[in-house]
A and B are shown apart, each in its own frame.
Chain A
Amino acid sequence: MSDLETFRAETKAWIEDNFPASLKGSSMGLEGESDESAKADFESWRQRLAEKGWGAPTWPTEYGGAGASDPEAKIISQEMAKQGAFNPIPLMAGMGVTMVGPTVLEYGTEEQKQKHLRGIASGEVRWCLGLSEPNAGSDLASLQTKAEADGDTFKINGQKIWTSGADISQWCGALVRTDSNAKKRDGISFVMLPMDQDGVRTKPIQLISGVSPFCETFFDDARAEKSDLLGPLNEGWSVVKRLLQHERQSQTQARPAGGGGSKPTLQEVAKGYVGTDESGALADTDLRNRLTHHLMDSQAHSLTTSRITAEARGQVKVSAAASILKNSATRIAQGKAELTMEIMGSQGIGWDGDNFSSEELDNVREWLWGKAISIYGGSYEVQNNIISKNILGLPENTQKG
């Protein structure tokens, strides 16, 4: 057996031994489960994962990871999926596992790594990101929230918006202006601060999908330790650029149409609602054509993801093709939700109640939520700006500040 095959066998066995059967196939939503025994099972599964370092398996062991290679991490998630298991920690840590952690690993001092990473990797500390402001969206560098040095701390004043999970997070990574005289991008720093303090107030914003996953965040003489400045003073722009790269990376995995496991494929769903002609073809020929376009795009996307992975092996430079993945994933996810809705007809546009199945209602939420994908993490248009400038070498078409 190769090393990876051995690893796979060990992984499989460990999950069999440790994953509570009661949680099988259930989603990660159990976090808020009221049933006491399910809650206890969930908590013990989280603890076992954390001890094993599998909350963030690729991180070094001294910071709560398992020091796993990328292929090993992939095996862990594959084997979990096979057994109906799941890793709830990335979700529980908010922006911690996917964005803050990798950036701390890269830019953090030894003290910062010791202080912050274990809490993230175990799912015990949730992080939010205070980047956007009412007047600083795509043009993030125009942000105005101010931080002034005051003894061992920074005193922070200003307003953030769209801060996902701000009301339930313990820590925040915030982008603040530390030099108002410097050019836009040069006077910015990245600080980490606890949310539980007098100077921080959050106000949830309700979304079109009915949920309130994010907030307005107000800093009113809020405090951050100077030792929690990530990266050098006034060089927060390069820190956040790296952070956003991690964000994009975590968003490029388009879910294949139909999804894995027992979920029916989109074409099966379509056949169920729409019916077929005598040759077995979907009865609605226009829909059939557009569904085919979608499925082809989805397959092309996943083939591109694996091509990029194969080409990147052994090379430091990420191939230019990687730059297209976010927009491609966006088109597929949004397209899938729209198609599903169309396929389900009047059953696909329900808001709540017993007249609709959970699949029907879930898709409506997914459809609405999905509109955000082309806005956050660099909007669809901003992605195209980046490709045209950084990849194709065309002139800057957005005014620089």
Chain B
Amino acid sequence: MAALTEEQSMLRDQAKSWVTEQFPVQKFREMRDSGVVARFTPETWQGMIEMGWTGILVPEQYGGSGLGYLTFGVVLEEIGRQLTASPLFASAYVGATAVMLGGSDDQKQAILPKVVDGSVILTLAVDEGPRHDPAKIALKAESTGSGYQLSGNKTFVVEGMAATDFIVAASIDDDVKLLHVPASADGVSREAMSMVDSRGYANVHFDGVEVGAEAVMGDAAVLEQVLDCARAGIGAEMLGTASQAFDMTLDYLKTRVQFGQVIGSFQALGHRAAELFGQMELSRSCMEAALQGIDADADDVSELASLSKAKVGDFIHEMSNQLIQIHGGIGMTDEFDAGFYLKRARVLEAAYGNQAFHRDRYARLLGF
């Protein structure tokens, strides 16, 4: 494994100060209370576009900077720390990855520059039931001669209300294909899912939606690759969220006084903090290794992605529970931010396969 480059460290500092100064968790609270349907504010999104974050993955020839996955992870981690809400991950990370891996030259030319300038918001629509199961896609695409007709439903579509374009996993005969479907196409309808983390998700319905043959953007193998990139990337955001929860907890351990001493002087809590610190460092290594693996085109990206999603998932699960527990009663109040981290944690855990999904997958990849 390599350490972060100087460029990546600088980007980290820049992202950290932008996020904490302009869009800290207080802004997320205001957004939640405002009831805005997209579940993010246009100013947040615009700011990210202006800083060039939408182009981090996109090659220079399509208007991006092509800095790679680990670099994007650095930004995602900082966003995760303050729960800054935006379609950055859905569109400029997962969506852009799908176009880059599965798109034709024409599709790349048509879509990627717009992902970078923010005029297109992409999202991947894959899940159909309550459990992530990309091996069983029921949404059907039937050949029409000149293209395909889609019928079926997608659920838990990230930024599904704000998206301008869907990349839909559809089953065609016995195969799976990714299809590019504009949200404005006839027969597409959607409704917001109000989830526990107050972020944007949708149920999306495809009712005889017609697309041309040129809408195809890869097959089952591409879908798997895109999902692995998504799993690795969301690990960075999760680790950011969990690290912030750790910092908040550590801070409280050093300031809250009971029995005449700070609660961090109780060995039971000191050891709990030490264990959590260990899990945090171990999961960071997995997360960075997965992103570096993608950048290096390693042949064990799938193993690393599952390792990362499971290890970071276990850590954020435990950390978010301890965040509440160690804060005592104050942790239970909506006025305090801890609840946001707990709620966000469970949604991130479920996205692109939870820990159990990835342990099973990892075992299978290792041949048992």
Interface residues of chain A, those whose CB is within 8 Å of chain B, are: 267, 270-271, 276, 280-282, 288-289, 291-293, 295-297, 299-301, 303-304, 306-307, 310-311, 313, 320-321, 324, 327-328, 381, 383-385, 387-389, 391-398
Across the interface, which residues of B come within 8 angstroms of A280, CB to CB? Answer: 364, 367-368
Q: Contacts A303-B286, A307-B1 hold; do A394 and B264 have CB atoms under 8 A apart?
A: yes
Can you list 15 pairs linking A and B with CB atoms under 8 Å apart? A267-B368, A288-B363, A300-B282, A300-B307, A304-B281, A307-B3, A307-B288, A324-B282, A384-B271, A388-B271, A389-B270, A393-B250, A394-B273, A395-B265, A397-B266
Minimum CB–CB distance from A271 to chain B (whole Å) comes to 6
**B110 on the A face (CB < 8 A):** no
Interface residues of chain B, those whose CB is within 8 Å of chain A, are: 1-3, 250, 253-254, 261-262, 264-267, 270-271, 273-275, 277-278, 281-286, 288-289, 307, 310-311, 359-360, 362-364, 366-368
In the A-B complex, the 9 residue pairs with the smallest Cβ-Cβ separation, listed nearest first, are A388-B270, A387-B274, A303-B285, A324-B278, A395-B265, A304-B285, A384-B274, A394-B264, A321-B281
Minimum CB–CB distance from A138 to chain B (whole Å) comes to 13
What residue of chain B has the Cβ atom nearest to residue A300's Cβ?
B282
B262 partner, pick from A320, A385, A395, beta carbons under 8 A: A395
A267 partner, pick from B1, B3, B366, beta carbons under 8 A: B366
Q: Does more than half of chain A's interface fall in helix, strand or loop, or is it mixed?
A: helix
A304 to B311, CA, bound (A): 13
Across the interface, which residues of B come within 8 angstroms of A388, CB to CB? Answer: 264, 270-271, 273-274
Across the interface, which residues of A come within 8 angstroms of B285, CB to CB? Answer: 300, 303-304, 306-307, 321
Across the interface, which residues of B come within 8 angstroms of A383, CB to CB? Answer: 274
Minimum CB–CB distance from B4 to chain A (whole Å) comes to 8
Cross-chain contact A327 with B278 (CB below 8 angstroms): yes
Across the interface, which residues of A come within 8 angstroms of B261, CB to CB? Answer: 395
Across the interface, which residues of A come within 8 angstroms of B274, CB to CB? Answer: 383-385, 387-388, 391-392
Cross-chain contact A387 with B267 (CB below 8 angstroms): no
Given contacts A289-B359, A310-B3, A384-B270, 9 further A-B contacts (CB under 8 A): A281-B368, A300-B285, A300-B307, A304-B285, A324-B278, A324-B281, A381-B271, A384-B275, A392-B277
A295 partner, pick from B254, B273, B277, B366, beta carbons under 8 A: B366
Across the interface, which residues of B come within 8 angstroms of A396, CB to CB? Answer: 265
Across the interface, which residues of A come within 8 angstroms of B267, CB to CB? Answer: 385, 397-398
Q: Contacts A388-B271, A397-B266 hold; do A324 and B366 have CB atoms under 8 A apart?
A: no
What residue of chain A has the Cβ atom nearest to residue B268's Cβ?
A397
Minimum CB–CB distance from A384 to chain B (whole Å) comes to 4
Across the interface, which residues of A come within 8 angstroms of B307, CB to CB? Answer: 296, 299-300
A281 to B282, CA, bound (A): 27
Across the interface, which residues of B come within 8 angstroms of A389, CB to CB? Answer: 270
A271 to B366, CA, bound (A): 12
Cross-chain contact A295 with B286 (CB below 8 angstroms): no
Minimum CB–CB distance from B323 to chain A (whole Å) comes to 15
Q: Contacts A304-B282, A307-B1, A394-B265 hold; do A267 and B359 have CB atoms under 8 A apart?
A: no
